[in-house]
Structure 1
Amino acid sequence: MASVDPRLDSIVAHMPGVKAAVREELAARADRVRAVVEAHRRTGALASGLTVRTNRVDSTVTLEDPAVVAINYGHVARDGSWVEGIHALEAGL
């Protein structure tokens, strides 16, 4: 009967080729998010809060801004009208 090393996911995640592929994919996704954020730039706060981080095996693109949820998904303006979100997070999916 065959057996599988219980650490297989960790072994594969730490392989140089896998790590390189993850970094490459992250760079492409970060570029898509950055493009959407830059196209809808008003104050620059959201763009300055964009960080791309690669740890040993995980990678993330993060948007930090107090209004990131309203900016990304949309919100009701002071006059009651709907302001469509920029959907930058979805661009990175």
Structure 2
Amino acid sequence: MAHVSRNLDARIAHLPAVRAAVRAELEARAARVQAVVDRHVRTGRLRASLRVETSATDSTVSISHPEILAINYGHTTANGRFVEGIHAIEAGQE
């Protein structure tokens, strides 16, 4: 009967090749998000809030701008006009 080692997932996640693959995927996703954000620069605050973080096994692309939901998904202005969102978050999920 086959035996699977305890913590096999953690051992695999820390392999250099796996970490490199995760990092490469993160960089590709971050580049897509950055490209969308770069096309929509008004004040520079959105661009400054974009962060790419990597730990030992995980990576995250985050946008901490306080209005990211309205910027990303769209919003209605005070005069009732709808402004389409930029969909930067979705660019990172493709």
Give TM-score scaled by structure 1 length: 0.96
Residue aligning to 2:68: 68
Three-state SS of the structure 1 residue aligned to 2:60 is strand
Q: How does 1:1-93 map to 2 (within 5 A)?
A: 1-93=1-93
Q: What is the RMSD computed on CA atoms of the aligned residues?
A: 0.8
State the shift of 1:65 in Å.
0.7
State the shift of 1:25 in Å.
0.8
**Aligned mates of 2:5, 2:47 — CA distance in 1:** 43
**Aligned mates of 2:32, 2:15 — CA distance in 1:** 26
Three-state SS of the structure 2 residue aligned to 1:92 is helix
**Aligned mates of 2:9, 2:82 — CA distance in 1:** 45
State the shift of 1:9 in Å.
1.0
Give me the identity figure in percent. Answer: 56
Q: State how many pairs are aligned.
A: 93
Give TM-score scaled by structure 2 length: 0.95
Unpaired runs of 5+ residues, structure 1, are none
State the shift of 1:58 in Å.
0.5
Amino acid at match of 1:72: N
